[in-house]
Chain A
């Protein structure tokens, strides 16, 4: 699976949009971009995933660049409860090969009042 690079930490203002970047310059054509977050002392929570088109759900939006070498997770209106570590993970479809989901360091996001 392709390696990802995320900033170790970032602060966001409550009520404002939070834009979380992720670089995955070695991504392969069949690899998806997944985002999870982990609130303190909880298990990771699935947020969103995509292949090449932008995706949106009730939690967030995922913007993937045209060359797919980077992506941005957007939390449209950050709340204090969005404070967590956010993980960007790139991997092939589970059906294709292997079942492992490997976590990197993630971005520690602190939403401030």
Chain B
């Protein structure tokens, strides 16, 4: 299947700082990428849809000014958690699809102290 990578795989930061997470499609181009968040023992929740060359589409309840998404190229989308707080600690997963099947990255675990 298609390969989606994320960087970093984990990050620890202080409260109030910003953290950037990268998502790359390694063997295909993706005009659309998806960002999910998963809290412990819960299912994945879609946060936003990242669109290459245009604004991201955010799900209801997700603050677009807090979770900045940039999709600057056909193989790279970034999620920046601005002014992170402990409640933003979570597992962030990106996804993309070359054709009919959606593939997921390995995830980035964020811990905000």
Contacts and interface: CB of A to CB of B under 8 A. Distances in A.
> Real complex partners, A and B?
yes
Given A45-B104, A46-B102, A100 B91 contact: no
Given A103-B43, A106-B43, A44 B93 contact: yes
Contact of A103 (B1, B44, B105): B44
Nearest to B100: A94
A99 B101 contact: no
A105 B42 CA distance: 7
Chain A contact patch, size range: 20 to 34
Contact of A94 (B43, B91, B97, B105): B97
Nearest to B57: A99
Interface of B: 1, 4, 6, 32, 34, 43-46, 49, 91, 93, 95, 97, 100-107, 109
Contacts of B109: 41
Classify the interface of chain A: helix, strand, loop or mixed.
loop
Contacts of B93: 43-44
A104 B46 CA distance: 11
A41 B91 contact: yes
Given A95-B100, A103-B43, A103-B44, 4 more contacts: A41-B91, A42-B107, A99-B49, A102-B46
Given A99-B32, A101-B95, A43 B46 contact: no
A92 to B, nearest CB: 11
